[in-house]
Structure 1
């Protein structure tokens, strides 16, 4: 499934969690692990009289991740990349040059995806927008399980969702995990009455069709343990709640690509799930 995994690191708490996730993923798939730090020479150092401090800090961040990998029996390739373009572009260039098939990154948690210049804040957002390969994101509070044994994928019946369902199915099958597929019915502010009942029934019918299509896709080759559920409420809250209640180890969600994280499938749902979920989230075009 994943043969070459890339971990960009800056030594922050979020990237430390990402290192743990990347090592576990590489170990489970017996994959190559690449650890990089993008060096910013224009970044103001806290050690104002030491121009070599940023390079040393980058080497230290990489070394910590490499040592973590070694402690789990995972060999890692290490590199400090000289920044000639934006940080996320350097990450994507490395991805293309080394045939990376999954990127694991840290980002900010419940306070939101950073819009600052901090590495793995806005960098994670930009990488999510443009990456041609799946991106697994974690934050400081993310719980990393030893192995992936259950996978959750939300669907809305769109082409974007079908791509996510297909990837989630391959992931679950490759690690003998149970796949959970859910459709969230959101009826807004309509609370009661005959019109509300008809609206709910119509939306539930659409949801059942979407779930059946997803089930057909993942069961088209060989049997895969799959559970489907139709739930009602705010989509991002229901996705996070379902993941918690069913001990899901990983969430897979589709994105629309270059139009930005707020254009993800289900509107801004993916962004909110990334911030709030206690498990890693894999975003895929």
Structure 2
């Protein structure tokens, strides 16, 4: 493959939905051709505190349970992939910002995310793939994942 278009490290941002295997498979195909390192990442929104009346409630234990559950799901996804997953990350924060930061820290040259192909008003409101695209310092691939009910008959 031409070095100008070869990738060395690919990060796959997954949302742990049923569409993840398709997104991982697309990234694995590219990684295989390029002999690239493949990393899975999932980003959880932070839920540090909630307020019930006048008393703050610490939800850090709930956040830690979410991280553990996501880590277990990421491990299962990695085991079922057709290409070796070298790293797995469960991050807490804003998805696009965390994926950008991880890509920079890991010197990744491609971020792959799933997209439901939103158009019009839904796209204007923002989506994770759109947010990842804007502000990325490397290439971004949005893999179109439509549910069976979305496909024309």
Tell whether the structures are fold-level matches, with TM greater than 0.5: yes
After superposition, give the CA deviation of every residue in 1:231-273 in whole Å (9 maximum; x if it has no partner): 111111000000011100111110113x338868xx7221111
TM-score (norm 1): 0.43
C-alpha distance in structure 1 between counterparts of 2:98 and 2:132, whole Å: 10
Greater length-normalized contact order (CA 8 Å, ≥ 6 residues apart): 2
The structure with the greater share of residues assigned to strand is 2
Contact 2:49–2:57 (CA<8 Å) still a contact in 1? no
Within the candidate set 144, 164, 168, 2:23 is matched to 164
Distance 1:27 1:161, change over 3 A: same
Distance 1:146 1:173, change over 3 A: closer
After superposition, give the CA deviation of every residue in 1:35-82 in whole Å (9 maximum; x if it has no partner): xxxxxxxxxxxxxxxxxxxxxxxxxxxxxxxxxxxxxxxxxxxxxxxx
- Give how far 1:190 is off: 2.3
2:93 is the alignment partner of 1:233: yes
> Where does structure 1 lack aligned partners over 5 or more consecutive residues?
1-25, 29-144
TM-score (norm 2): 0.76
Within the candidate set 59, 63, 67, 1:196 is matched to 59
Q: Who wins on radius of gyration, i.e. which is larger? A: 1
Contact 2:48–2:63 (CA<8 Å) still a contact in 1? no
Residue 187 of structure 1 aligns with which residue?
A: 46
Give every structure 1 segment of 4 or more consecutive aligned residues whose post-TM-superposition deviation is greater than 4 Å.
Answer: 191-195, 261-264
2:10 is the alignment partner of 1:147: no
Within the candidate set 107, 113, 122, 1:247 is matched to 107
2:133 is the alignment partner of 1:270: no
CA RMSD of aligned residues (A): 2.7
> Where does structure 2 lack aligned partners over 5 or more consecutive residues?
145-153
Count of equivalent residues: 138
